[in-house]
Each structure stands twice: as C-alpha cells, then as structure tokens.
Structure 1
Amino acid sequence: MSTKGLTGAPRQVIFGPVRDGGRVDVVARRISRAIGLGLITDGEQLPSESVLAESLKVSTVTLREALSSLRDQGLLETRRGRGGGSFVRTPLEPSAARMRGLLGELCPHELREIGDHHVAVSGAAAKLAAERAGAEQCAALGKLVGHLATARTIGERRRADARFHVGIAAAAQSHRLTRDEITLQGEVGELLWLPVYGQDPDLVSAVEQHSGILVAIEGGDGELARARAEAHVDLGITRLINVRRRLG
C-alpha cells in the first residue's frame, strides 16, 4: 500500500520536488505536515525510499535522515521483511498547553497577516472549485463535511477541517493554491481548534459553514462560494486573534 488515500494535487504537492536545496529539515517538515493534517493517514505506507527520493528530487541519504527524524518524533514506524517499509502513525492529541504555547509565539499582527493570506487563498480556491469541480470531487468534499460532523477529538476535528480546505483547493485544480492551503493549514490549522476556558470551538457552526461552502460549489456559484469561504476563514482567524489577546 502506498498512500492510497492521497491523490491529485495534494499528492503532487507533498511528494513533488523539494525547494530550498533539499535540506533534511525541509523534507521532514513537508512529510510531517502532511501527516499532521491527515493528508497521509494512520497506517498508510510511504513509497519506497528510492521512489520517494526520486519524487522529492533529493538524495537517498537526505531522505533517510528525514525519515529517521520522523521516526524519532513518533510519526513513522519501520517494518522489516516482506511487505515492510515506512508506515504512518497518527500524531498524539495536541495538548491545550502546547497549543497555547504555539499561539503565544505569534502576535496579533502576524495572525492578521496569515489570516489575510488565508482568506485570499481559500476564497480563490472556492470560486475556482465552483467553476471546475466535477461530481466526484463534490462527493469527496461531502464526505469530508461528514467526517468533521462526527469528529470527537481536537485532533480529528483539526484533520477533518484541514482536509476539507485542501480538498477545495484540489477541486480548484490549482497546484499553487493547494500548496498554499497546505502551508497555511500547517501554520494555524491546529490553533483554530484551541479550547478557550474549557470550551471547544463551535463544531456545529463549523459544519454548517462547510456545508454552505459545498452547496455553493455544487451549484456552480463561484462568487457565493468565494464569499462563504472568505467569511468562514475570517471568523476563525478573528477568534484566534481574540484568544491571543486574552493570553496577553
């Protein structure tokens, strides 16, 4: 098995040539981000080292060091023998303390900058998805809405949320938008589900907003899809900025 759940633009972004000279940390971050966002899921097998190194355009030595780092982080396990290889392990549930620490490293202005970028990317992706997505892609997005609705933990919700947004960018048939969406989800996606004073973000509202975006995409209404996606992302980042200000 070789990342069977990952197809199209997300796969090409994650396993495409690495920039920045193919450094070990860049390769490790690329794969760890995909695992953290649920784009490569628990138990999935990565391509063989030779195939993956060729796909990423890095040396086998660099790849092995990156995979070793991911094993040390508990994100991969190696199985020997027939049918062996590198298999993904779902990350542990993030602690609220760790998430607050990550949020504390970003000032409100930085969050607003990230939010502005995310609004632009998500809005453009939703508009193009409404114009380009076929029935199969819309059905896949519908399943992702369902995954969010039934997600119980912060980690499950974060991954379902991220996969929906990345799925929209993929449905837009744009590698650049898909790459940007994956990067943005890696920067703040986890923080968007940070509980505040014991209360989790409103799951029901998030599901309703995802459903509204999907309805607009299915209906081929690009402007409505854009407006709903932009409003959804802006609500999330505004909440995050307010949480950051409370933390001082």
Structure 2
Amino acid sequence: MVSAGEALFRPVRAGNAFEETVERLLQSIRLGVVGAGERLPSERELAERLGVSRVTLREAIRALADAGYVESRRGRYGGTFVNQSLPEPAEGTAGDVDAAAFEDALCLRHVLETGAAEAAAARTLSPADRRHLTGTLGEAATAGLADYRRKDSRLHLAIAEVTASGSLTTAMADARMRVNQLLDRIPLLEPNLEHSNAQHAAIVDAILAGDPVAARQAMAEHIEGTASLLRAFLA
C-alpha cells in the first residue's frame, strides 16, 4: 500500500519551494491525511521528504499557523499539530465558477475514482489494506457535519492507496482538492450524507469482495450523485 502521506509529501519544485510546501501541507490537512489534533511528521522528516530547507519548511508552517490551520508546541511531546477547528473555506458564488474548469474537474474525478475502485478490487489486498479501508469507512460513516468533508476525502484516498500506485494516489489527491473547492460552495445536506455513506459501504464491500465491475459501478453511481448536486447548485 502506498500511503497518501508518501504521495503528498514528495519533493517540490525548486522554483516555487515555499508555495508548493504550503500546498502539500495544506492538502494533507484538508484531505484528512493528518487529522484534527494529530501531529505532522517531524521537521527533519518533512524537509527531507519535500526536498526543501528547514528554513523554507518553517516559513510554510508559520504561514499555516498564522492562517489558523496548525499550532506549534514545545517540549518533549512537542511538534506541529493540526488544530481541532479549521478555518472555514472561502465562500463563493455560482457566478465565480468557470464552466469549463467545473466540467473538467468532474470528468477527471470520474475517470480517476472509478478506475481506482476497479483497480483496488482487482488486487489481492493484504490484511492491513482491508483494515485501512474498513477503518476509514467507519470514520466517514460516524463523522459529524463539521468533519465530514475530511473523513469523506480520507476514505476516497484510502481506495487509491490500496491500489499500491503512488502516481494514482497523488493524482487522486490533486483531483480531490479541486472537487472539494467546489463542494465547499454548497451546503452539506444530511439526507445526501446518509445516501453517500450507504454508497461508500457498497463501494468498499465490492472492493473487499474482489469484484472490480461492481466496485467501478458503485463508485460511478456515487460520483454521479455528487456531480448532480454540484450542477444543481453551481452550474
């Protein structure tokens, strides 16, 4: 299994080291890879994995702290921790959405996520893979409204992780960030969340059963439902 952390905390490009470091750290937080109250990897580890200097890393962490995403703690059990409550995403209106970019994001998501579900179901999953899927499924199913988006994202990334393709996991994380920017503009509707949780269970059940066709179909139905809501509110 290739973890989302490995996929996200990959070397950044030298020309935009600070900006890309902020982007990677923020992705890991917004997608729930590092959850509320959890500690980011150590400064040394992050700098090595991202291929940046500690000065650049500290500047990026300071920027996220100033924005309300993380806090630094001193002492034996110190480090950089994700805040329990994250800043609200910027509000937007339907008029702010570029139609071509909107459809592009939905198309990319459909191709990547249906393919990931199919590929995951086609693999012989390890016990750790199976626990990872059922664990993230359970967290999404019991998440409150405030934390639902992150737990939902974490489950979808878990499906990519168990394909063992780092490139797919990276692409999924990037695509999911684009979709979340759209989802943050529409309300969380409890009946939809109940339906989504039932669909999540069907997707994971098909993957665990080793049924690629059913996994792809269940994911397609799930994604099409989300796309319908987005088009209703934003298109």
Provide TM-score, normalisation by structure 1. 0.85
- CA RMSD for the aligned pairs? 2.3
1:151 aligns with 2:143: yes
The 5 A counterparts of 1:91-110 are 91-92=85-86, 94=88, 98-99=90-91, 101=92, 104-110=95-101
* SS at structure 2 position matched to 1:172: coil
1:217 aligns with 2:207: yes
How far the C-alpha of 1:111 sits from its partner, in A, is 1.5
Report the equivalent of 1:42: 36
Report the equivalent of 1:4: none
Report the equivalent of 1:81: 75
Give the alignment partner of residue 128 of structure 2, picking from 123, 127, 136.
136
- Please list the CA deviations of residues 107-161 of structure 1 after superposition, one character each: whole Å capped at 9, or x if unmatched: 33322111110011001111111122333322322222222222221x3111111
1:124 aligns with 2:115: yes
Report the equivalent of 1:3: none
* SS at structure 1 position matched to 2:52: coil
Give the alignment partner of residue 165 of structure 2, picking from 162, 174, 188.
174
Aligned pairs, number: 234
How far the C-alpha of 1:9 sits from its partner, in A, is 2.3
Report the equivalent of 1:15: 9
Give the alignment partner of residue 175 of structure 2, picking from 173, 184, 200.
184
Counterpart-to-counterpart distance in 2, 1:207 and 1:86: 32
Give the alignment partner of residue 115 of structure 1, picking from 83, 97, 106.
106
Counterpart-to-counterpart distance in 2, 1:232 and 1:209: 6
- Please list the CA deviations of residues 57-106 of structure 1 after superposition, one character each: whole Å capped at 9, or x if unmatched: 012221111111111111111112333221221343637xx44x176532
Asked which structure has the greater RCO (Cα within 8 Å, sep 6+), the reply is 2
Counterpart-to-counterpart distance in 2, 1:144 and 1:54: 28
How far the C-alpha of 1:10 sits from its partner, in A, is 0.8
Report the equivalent of 1:90: 84
Counterpart-to-counterpart distance in 2, 1:151 and 1:193: 16
Counterpart-to-counterpart distance in 2, 1:102 and 1:24: 29
Identity of aligned residues (%): 33
Counterpart-to-counterpart distance in 2, 1:193 and 1:150: 20
How far the C-alpha of 1:11 sits from its partner, in A, is 1.6
From the superposition, tell whether residues 106 and 200 of structure 1 become closer, same or farther in structure 2 (CA, over 3 Å).
farther
* SS at structure 2 position matched to 1:87: strand
How far the C-alpha of 1:238 sits from its partner, in A, is 2.5
- State the one-letter code of the partner of 1:221: D
